[in-house]
Amino acid sequence: MNNNKGFTMVELIVTLAVFSIVMTISIPSFSAWLPRSRIKTSVRHIYNDMNLAKSRAVKDNTVAVIIFNISNDTYTIFLDTSKNWALDAGETIISTGGLEDDVDIYLSTFPSNTYGFNNRGMPETPLTGPYEVYLTNPSGLFMGVRVNIVGNITIINSTDGGSTWS
């Protein structure tokens, strides 16, 4: 009866070889996936928060405003009870958001980077547009969020470096 327990050197080398092959195949896929995931996550956060602002404006019977700060890639959404398009003391902040690593807001067509929904979920902003905020990352991916003239919010993509959006 042989009571030796453990792995032989051959088993250990074969296991390490298989592990190395799997890692060699998966690391390039992961590094290509990560930037796409980060920009998608960032654009979904903005999309979801804008929908939240729209519903809170209706629920609380007031105006909900989103202000994009392009210089530091953040945004703030609040209930603008004073209706002056500025965050005043005592007004409720619904959400503050930042973007994922390596994702930047590179342009906003919102007037003064600000947008608002009224108590019916319609745009409080002048009814022109559509208005959009565009995100990009160092991998050259472009995504954004569009709000049309009746307040519908959609996620948009560009496959040509930000020239055309769909």
- Give the span between the Cα atoms of 132 and 59, in whole angstroms: 25
Q: Please report, for the chain, the start and end positions of each structural domain, with discontinuous segments joined by +.
A: 9-158
pLDDT digits (tens, 9 = 90+) for 70-106: 999 999 999 999 999 999 999 999 999 999 999 999 9
What pLDDT does 65 receive? Answer: 97
Alpha helices in the chain (DSSP H): 9-59
Q: Is 3.40.367.20 the CATH number for 9-158? A: no
Both tokens assigned to 81: 């009870």
User: Taking the CA of residue 126 as centre, how many other CA atoms within 13 Å lie in the half-sphere pointing to its CB?
Assistant: 6
Determine how many CB atoms are found less than 10 A away from the CB of residue 106. 15
Peptide bond into 35 cis (omega under 30): no
Lowest mean pLDDT segment, chosen from 78-92, 107-121, 123-137, 139-153: 123-137
What pLDDT does 58 receive? Answer: 96
What pLDDT does 30 receive? Answer: 64
Could you tell me the pTM of the whole model?
Answer: 0.82
